[in-house]
Amino acid sequence: MIKPHGSDELNALYVADEDQRAALLEEAEGLPSLLLNSAAAANAVMLAAGYFNPLTGYMNLADALSVAENMHTVDGLFWPVPIVNMTSESGIEAGSRIALRDPNAEGSPVLAIMDVEAVESVSEEQIDFMAEKIFRSDDANHPGVATFKSLGRTLLSGPIQVLGFSYFQSDFPETFRTAVEIRAEIAKNGWDKVVAFQTRNPMHRAHEELCRMAMNDLDADGILIHMLLGKLKPGDIPADVRDASIRKMVDVYFPANTVMVTGYGFDMLYAGPREAVLHAVFRQNSGCTHLIVGRDHAGVGDYYGGFDAQTIFDEEVPDDALELEVYKADHTAYSKKLDKVVMMRDVPDHSMEDFVLLSGTKVREMLGEGIAPPPEFSRPEVAQILMDHYKSLDS
C-alpha cells in the first residue's frame, strides 16, 4: 500500500487506549482550558484521524509563515496550508499544559490536551501575507479569507493528544472514517490502486461518470468517495443530505464492492489550489494512490481560474513531494449527440448547445420548486432526496 506522507507509518494523534484516554480526561479537568474556534477544532480532528500525518500538533509562527510562502515547514517538510491554533484569548503561557475544548459539541467537552511550546503574537501584516498566499486573495468577501482573519492574533503551537472526534463520529456513524480506518478497509478489500473523489456537494450524473472514467482510465480497484462533513458557507447542502444522496447513487448505480462512501471531519477552506494540494496529502495518508482534480476544485466564486487547482501540481508541487498522483479532469456534462456523459475536452466537435448544462442557481431553483432536473443531469433518486430537503426548508 502507498506510504503515508512524510513517514513510513501513519501517526494518528487520537489516544486509542481507553485507560490512557480516561486518565487524560481526568487530568484535563484540572488544567487551564481554551475554547477552540471551529477551524482549530477541525485541525485537531484531522490530526486525530491521521489525515495530517506526520504532524504532531499545531505549527508555530515560523512554520506557518514558511508553509504559506513556499509550502514547506522550516525543517523542509512539504505541506500546503498552515495547521494552526489561533485564538483571541490571553493569559496562556509557553510551557503550560492546557485542555482544548470543542466549540461544536454541546457543553464544550475536552477535545484534546496540548503542551504549549510557544505563544506568539501574529501581526496584521503576517495575517495578510498568509491569507494572500493561502487563498490568492485578501478580499474580505472570500469566505476562507474572512474566516482566517477572524481567528485571532495569538498563535499557540505544540503537540496535542486528541481524545475524541467532535460531533463527526456521533452525527455520521456510518460515514465518518479516520485515515487509519480507510487504510484498513482498503487492505481488507485487497485494493492496490485506489482513486479518491473529493466532494462538498451532492453528486450529479457528471460526478458519477467522472468517477467511472477515472476508474476505467487508471484500471483502479476501487474508488473512495470522500465527503467533507464540517462547516460550509451559507446555502450549501447540509452534510446529512449530501450523505443520503451520495449513498443512494452508489447503491443504485455502482457495482457492489467497488466504492467506499466515507467522510472526514474538516471545515471547508475554499482555498482552491492550495486546498487541492491539501486534499492530495490527506488522501495519500488514507491509502489512495490517485486523486481526481476537476474544474474549480475547492474553489468559490470567481477567485480562481478553472484549472488552477491542476496547474499548481505542475508548477509549485515538487516532483518528489507526494507519492499520490493526480487524475486531471475537464468539465463533464451529458452529450445530446452521444447520449452519454463526456469530458468536454474529448469532444471538440461539440458546441455548448450539444450539452445538458444547468447552473447551480438554476438547479437549486428547480429543486426548491419541486421540479426534478432532467435525468441526463441528475439521477431521479438523488433528485428526490434533494427536493425533499428543499421542501423541508419551506415547511
Which of 21, 153, 200, 364 is an active site residue? 200
Q: At what angle do helices 239-253 and 380-394 cross, to 10 degrees?
A: 160
Q: How far apart are CA 310 and CA 318, in angstroms?
A: 14
Q: How far apart are CA 356 and CA 362, in angstroms?
A: 13
Task: Verify whether residue 200 is a known catalytic residue.
Answer: yes
- Is residue 259 a contact partner of residue 222, using CB atoms and an 8 Å limit? yes
Task: Verify whether residue 285 is a known catalytic residue.
Answer: no
Which of 153, 201, 247, 364 is an active site residue? 201
Which positions are catalytic? 200-201
